[in-house]
A and B are shown apart, each in its own frame.
Chain A
């Protein structure tokens, strides 16, 4: 327990710093946009209607979706201006959170400014104030408490929503939450939640202090609030200011195997003298782009994914030829170096209970096709829609009695309990071995190869020390060991962290 907490807490300062930096930047940008807009809106009801309408509409988009939308949007913009705009990390997160912060600030600023007593406005005009003087001397000071309350609401929302920026590759306290959820490591989840909640509460209290200071015209109070905010901002972002050059960023998608391999790569690079950071939970589409842009230095992908998603290929090639093609393509198009295959596959594999395998002498997919009319088929939620299933059906004449979809977590128990008789498992999943399930051989090679391959960012490919540190991993991980490692993280009892598992896996490397 202590160990888990220590590991979780060790990641906090850096993630907190990034979280604070992102939230603060978004809030500041939203203020810069909203305050002039509010002034305009107060003078023109039409603008007020449009601005508030758009801001409200944005608010109805779920935070996660808003973040996700910015990825293709920025990619498009980048393509339009000839590249150079990163669709990954800070920028999309900043833009999405800024949009999210608009509504409370804008609404309160409009309310505050238009709520100024008409008599006071008339007096200001009658005394001969210019529009600017009226704003500066009368309207702004009178609206300030309301505006501040809006900023306070926006700050709390932004800090909360910033946890979602993990999904577009921007580090935040959400890294802990997402990684923890995936590996069912509640210590991580709790740490992420506690710190982001504490941050939101602290900021809310301090902004509340400033708001009270303005409302009650107590300069001391406002000053103390501002000083504490500034001090907090400085302290929290300190880890970002400390020299960060040559820190290696290791990417990982959102499942246990990726977390373990990232830690394995990280531990070897640390031994070679590099400082490393992890970007967990990246989407498949995001991570390759990030690598080619140099935002991520190294990660593990799967040959079939690159083949179909990045290269848009629909044909099939033998395993080794396919790897060669991918390596040449990645280097030619993005300068990405494929260091090599790790030695195991994570593809769709058909698994059956060992007693069925014995009794019905099932060994291959041809054997499965023979008994398919007696079998119930269990899959994950997307398999029946995927090209792999069409490829399998084309090669083997299967017709199951029934087909049902499960969340992966429940798919394995369903096979074990006899609810279904065959499942489309992930071939490197530890729960196959743990349940003693038997994988049937794809004897006709219908399912494309999903070899785990290590990819390096353009400027790491020529870093000899870097390559030397990671080269021993090539061809060194057996599927059996990968399954055991995954199971150590996924199982319910005696859970290990990805890092502990990575160290175990490092001892099992094939020479």
Chain B
């Protein structure tokens, strides 16, 4: 399925909460088909920035284009149906089966034909066994639930995926697994993905471009390789230092052994 994700363009985007500038005049262009990680500490404004793209948060100032189209050219709910959204707390509908959860976007769009086949296809895509379709969400493990979350977001074949700490609550093994598999999916489906994370190691591994946010502004914008080579600013260096130190420690340990 050759879907080509759109490019994204942010222009002087701001959002204040009281006196706090959550997002402070951010301008940014994201190329079609890229996988961008938005990294920063809690409260750096990364989630707010992400949610302005699908209008879960409205900006005070500035403009957002998806492709060539301003986001406010359609009603929010129409816009959101074209954008996949995955977040840490997943938010599966507890009163619906896995199959209905996955197909809810099609239900909203009024697509009746081939729903079951699409659900089966999506479960395959996120590597879930077919017999989970009839289960209720609370009968699934955390990792399985987030796979359902991803399948649900992909059901309507969006070109753009917005992911807010999607794997943050999962155990490390599951998380690693899912990160791997998502990267493969992203490439296979030709998506544009923006993923918010506070884990620099994850960002370095997953993304082809990393944006470091602090105090509502983008302090660094680089590829993983550039980030590791240094010289992209103190904020980025502080975040990169942690996985670098961990890696060095592990190497030292393995040499001792």
**A interface residue numbers (CB < 8 A to B):** 117-130, 133, 137-138, 141-142, 217
Q: How far is the CA of A152 from the CA of B241 in the complex (A)?
A: 60
Q: Is the CB of B89 within 8 A of A126?
A: no
Beta-carbon contacts of B143-160 to A below 8 Å, as 1s and 0s?
000000100100000000
- Partner of A126 from B56, B78, B93, B94 at Cβ < 8 Å: B56
Residues of B within 8 A of A117 (CB): 91, 94
Residues of A within 8 A of B82 (CB): 128
- Partner of B91 from A122, A128, A141 at Cβ < 8 Å: A122
A125 to chain B, nearest CB (A): 6
- Could you count the A-B residue pairs with CB atoms below 8 Å apart for me: how many are there? 61
Beta-carbon contacts of B80-107 to A below 8 Å, as 1s and 0s?
1110010101111111000000001100
Q: Is the CB of A127 within 8 A of B90?
A: no
Known: A120-B91, A130-B77, A217-B95. A125 touches B56 (CB 8 A): yes
- Partner of A127 from B89, B94, B104 at Cβ < 8 Å: B104
- Partner of A128 from B80, B90, B93 at Cβ < 8 Å: B80
B54 sits at the interface (CB 8 A): yes
Interface centre among A120, A123, A142 (most CB of B within 10 A): A123
Q: How far is the CA of A120 from the CA of B93 in the complex (A)?
A: 6
**Which are the 7 A-B pairs with shortest beta-carbon distances?**
A123-B91, A119-B89, A126-B85, A128-B81, A128-B80, A119-B91, A128-B77
**B interface residue numbers (CB < 8 A to A):** 54, 56, 76-82, 85, 87, 89-95, 104-105, 108, 149, 152
Contacts A/B (CB < 8 Å), 17 sampled: A119-B91, A123-B85, A123-B87, A123-B90, A123-B91, A123-B93, A124-B91, A125-B80, A126-B54, A127-B104, A127-B152, A128-B77, A128-B81, A128-B82, A129-B77, A133-B108, A137-B104
A29 to chain B, nearest CB (A): 28
Q: Is the CB of B56 within 8 A of A127?
A: no
Q: Is the CB of A141 within 8 A of B95?
A: yes
List the A residue with the shortest CB-CB distance to B78: A128
Q: Is the CB of B94 within 8 A of A128?
A: no
B140 to chain A, nearest CB (A): 15
Q: Is the CB of B95 within 8 A of A126?
A: no
A17 to chain B, nearest CB (A): 38
Residues of B within 8 A of A141 (CB): 95
Residues of A within 8 A of B80 (CB): 125-128
Residues of A within 8 A of B76 (CB): 128
B240 to chain A, nearest CB (A): 31
Q: Is the CB of A120 within 8 A of B94?
A: yes
Q: Is the CB of A126 within 8 A of B87?
A: yes
A136 to chain B, nearest CB (A): 11
List the B residue with the shortest CB-CB distance to A131: B77
Q: How far is the CA of A373 from the CA of B79 in the complex (A)?
A: 95
List the A residue with the shortest CB-CB distance to B88: A119
Q: How far is the CA of A122 from the CA of B82 in the complex (A)?
A: 16
Residues of B within 8 A of A137 (CB): 93, 104
Q: Is the CB of A128 within 8 A of B105?
A: yes
B89 to chain A, nearest CB (A): 4
Q: How far is the CA of A142 from the CA of B152 in the complex (A)?
A: 20
Q: How far is the CA of A137 from the CA of B103 in the complex (A)?
A: 13
Q: How far is the CA of A123 from the CA of B92 in the complex (A)?
A: 7
18 more CB-based (< 8 A) A-B contacts, given A122-B91, A123-B93, A128-B76: A117-B94, A118-B89, A119-B87, A119-B89, A119-B91, A123-B85, A123-B90, A123-B91, A124-B93, A126-B56, A126-B87, A128-B105, A130-B77, A133-B77, A133-B108, A137-B104, A138-B93, A217-B95
Residues of B within 8 A of A124 (CB): 91, 93
B135 to chain A, nearest CB (A): 13
Q: How far is the CA of A487 from the CA of B54 in the complex (A)?
A: 83
A280 to chain B, nearest CB (A): 50
B29 to chain A, nearest CB (A): 24
Q: How far is the CA of A122 from the CA of B50 in the complex (A)?
A: 14
Q: Is the CB of B95 within 8 A of A142?
A: yes
Residues of B within 8 A of A129 (CB): 77, 108
Residues of B within 8 A of A128 (CB): 76-82, 105, 108
A135 to chain B, nearest CB (A): 13
A368 to chain B, nearest CB (A): 80
Q: Is the CB of A122 within 8 A of B89?
A: yes
Residues of A within 8 A of B149 (CB): 123
Residues of A within 8 A of B77 (CB): 128-130, 133
Q: How far is the CA of A303 from the CA of B11 in the complex (A)?
A: 89
Q: How far is the CA of A119 from the CA of B85 in the complex (A)?
A: 12
B51 to chain A, nearest CB (A): 9
List the B residue with the shortest CB-CB distance to A138: B93
B83 to chain A, nearest CB (A): 8
A211 to chain B, nearest CB (A): 15
Q: How far is the CA of A127 from the CA of B152 in the complex (A)?
A: 9
Q: How far is the CA of A122 from the CA of B93 in the complex (A)?
A: 11
A148 to chain B, nearest CB (A): 14
List the A residue with the shortest CB-CB distance to B84: A126
A133 to chain B, nearest CB (A): 6
Q: How far is the CA of A276 from the CA of B92 in the complex (A)?
A: 62
Q: How far is the CA of A42 from the CA of B54 in the complex (A)?
A: 24
Q: Is the CB of B95 within 8 A of A127?
A: no
Residues of A within 8 A of B89 (CB): 118-119, 122
List the B residue with the shortest CB-CB distance to A120: B91
Q: How far is the CA of A129 from the CA of B105 in the complex (A)?
A: 9
List the A residue with the shortest CB-CB distance to B54: A126
Known: A127-B81, A128-B79. A119 touches B93 (CB 8 A): no
Residues of A within 8 A of B91 (CB): 117, 119-124, 126
Residues of A within 8 A of B92 (CB): 120, 123
Residues of B within 8 A of A123 (CB): 85, 87, 90-93, 149
List the A residue with the shortest CB-CB distance to B149: A123
A126 to chain B, nearest CB (A): 4
- Partner of B87 from A122, A133, A138, A142 at Cβ < 8 Å: A122
Residues of A within 8 A of B90 (CB): 119, 123
A312 to chain B, nearest CB (A): 64
Residues of A within 8 A of B108 (CB): 127-129, 133
